[in-house]
């Protein structure tokens, strides 16, 4: 059950063990996500990749946890292909904001090389894997990855997913805080994106009902500034990672359940849109139903006038970020061979 949105009791499907790869596993979010996924009963092999040699230590530490999941580490760009090869699900994460004033273009510039390297390796060595992107800005990186897959002739929009579960988690929290409801029982869908100027919490569609309309703007504003507030609290000592790791692991668990055949696994994610929604925005966060091959279906919740106004404003930013990702691919011809020429030598893990 994915607490991130709806309280659904998925029916048991055929059990199978899956291989999951975490890219940038040395990042704080990566380590905590790995700790949570080590306990997932659907995973038989958990692969951790990073260019930092301490990834070997992280894997060794996790391997001592007494669950059936086997942990393997991969260090250095030259072995990235081994980390993703034949993996059922690959997730790239980390790279989150370090300062309140860090802009989306700055985040893109800092993270684009690692996301593109991951994308190219998935295309060549595991084109049918479900590729989850949790590295910001997902509003640019999902289109970037999609364009690369299209160029390689292996594009399947169901398998490229921007993880935006953190927005749902924050929405649930602030609705509970402001309305006085039990936050553990709240499910609020989010549309738009994940960056603060892109996300729109559909408070009018939250369950259970009971949020007064006069609180909708307060809740939306609280969600938008929440990441910066945590950054301010940490100061220069660290960056937020705990809640993000839990949100990511919940989404991965939900996707793995869907892959076993469970039929009612629902969440919110930043994905390719089709139909009339696709005419409004080609990519955006919406409610998704997960299936064996990734996204089974997506749809927009009903939204009120205030939420529609917020979404129209968010769409202006989302379109710019989509353009940022797509144009990077069109203007950048760097291949895996070119990437490997600058790769450091691999580090052997015991």
Condensed to tens digits (0 to 9), the pLDDT of residues 36-63 reads: 999 999 999 999 999 999 999 999 999 9
* pLDDT value at residue 11: 39
* pLDDT value at residue 30: 96
* pLDDT value at residue 177: 95
Residue with tokens 């359940």, as numbered in its chain: 257
Reported confidence tier of residue 334, pLDDT bands at 50, 70, 90? low
Reported confidence tier of residue 1, pLDDT bands at 50, 70, 90? very low
Percentage of the chain exceeding pLDDT 90? 81
Query: Which of 127-141, 239-253, 325-339 shows the highest mean pLDDT?
Result: 127-141
Determine the number of helices (DSSP H) and then strands (DSSP E) in the chain: 11, 11
What domains are there in the chain, each with its CATH number? 18-163+327-337 (3.40.50.720), 165-324 (3.90.110.10)
Which string of b and e fits 151-180 if b means at least 16 CB within 10 Å? eeeebbbbbbbbbbbbbbbbbbbbbbebbe
d(CA 299, CA 307): 16
* pLDDT value at residue 98: 81
Q: Is the pLDDT at 345 greater than 60, yes or no?
A: no
Reported confidence tier of residue 350, pLDDT bands at 50, 70, 90? very low
Please give the residue that has the higher pLDDT: either 336 or 283.
283
Q: Is the pLDDT at 5 greater than 60, yes or no?
A: no
Q: What value does the mean pLDDT take over residues 246-257? A: 98
Phi, then psi, of 44 in degrees rounded to 5 = -95, -30
Max intra-chain CA distance, the chain: 58
* pLDDT value at residue 121: 98
* pLDDT value at residue 347: 52
Reported confidence tier of residue 237, pLDDT bands at 50, 70, 90? low
Reported confidence tier of residue 110, pLDDT bands at 50, 70, 90? very high
CA–centroid distance for 71 within its chain = 21
Q: Is the pLDDT at 29 greater than 50, yes or no?
A: yes
Q: Is the pLDDT at 343 greater than 70, yes or no?
A: no
């Amino acid at each position: 059950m994915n607490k991130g949105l709806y309280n659904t009791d998925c029916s048991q499907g055929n059990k199978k063990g899956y291989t999951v790869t975490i890219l940038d596993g040395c990042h704080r979010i990566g380590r905590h996500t790995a700790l949570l996924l080590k306990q997932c009963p659907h995973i038989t092999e958990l692969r951790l990749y990073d260019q930092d040699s301490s990834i070997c230590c992280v894997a060794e530490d996790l391997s001592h946890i007494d669950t059936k999941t086997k942990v393997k580490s991969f260090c250095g760009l030259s072995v990235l292909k081994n980390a993703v090869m034949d993996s059922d699900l690959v997730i790239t994460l980390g790279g989150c904001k370090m300062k309140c004033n860090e802009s989306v273009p700055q985040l893109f510039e800092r993270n684009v090389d690692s996301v593109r390297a991951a994308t190219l390796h998935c295309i060549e060595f595991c084109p049918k894997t479900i590729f989850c992107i949790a590295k910001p800005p997902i509003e640019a990186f999902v289109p970037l990855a999609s364009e690369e897959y299209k160029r390689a002739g292996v594009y399947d929009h169901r398998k490229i997913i921007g993880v935006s579960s953190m927005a749902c988690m924050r929405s649930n929290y602030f609705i509970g805080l402001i309305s006085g409801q039990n936050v553990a029982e709240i499910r609020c869908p989010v549309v738009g994106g994940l960056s603060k100027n892109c996300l729109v919490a559909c408070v009018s569609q939250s369950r259970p009902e009971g949020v007064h309309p006069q609180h909708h703007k307060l809740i939306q504003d609280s969600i938008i500034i929440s990441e910066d507030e945590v950054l301010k609290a940490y100061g220069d000592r660290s960056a937020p990672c705990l809640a993000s790791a839990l949100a990511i692991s919940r989404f991965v668990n939900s996707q793995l359940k869907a892959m076993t055949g469970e039929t009612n696994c629902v969440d919110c994610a930043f994905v390719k849109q089709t139909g009339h929604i696709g005419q409004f925005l080609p990519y955006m966060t919406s409610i998704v139903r997960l299936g064996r091959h990734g996204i089974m279906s997506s749809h927009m919740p009903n939204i009120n006038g205030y939420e529609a106004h917020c979404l129209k404003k968010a769409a202006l930013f989302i379109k710019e970020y989509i353009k940022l990702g797509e144009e990077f691919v069109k203007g950048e011809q760097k291949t895996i061979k070119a990437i490997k020429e600058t790769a450091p030598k691999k580090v052997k893990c015991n």
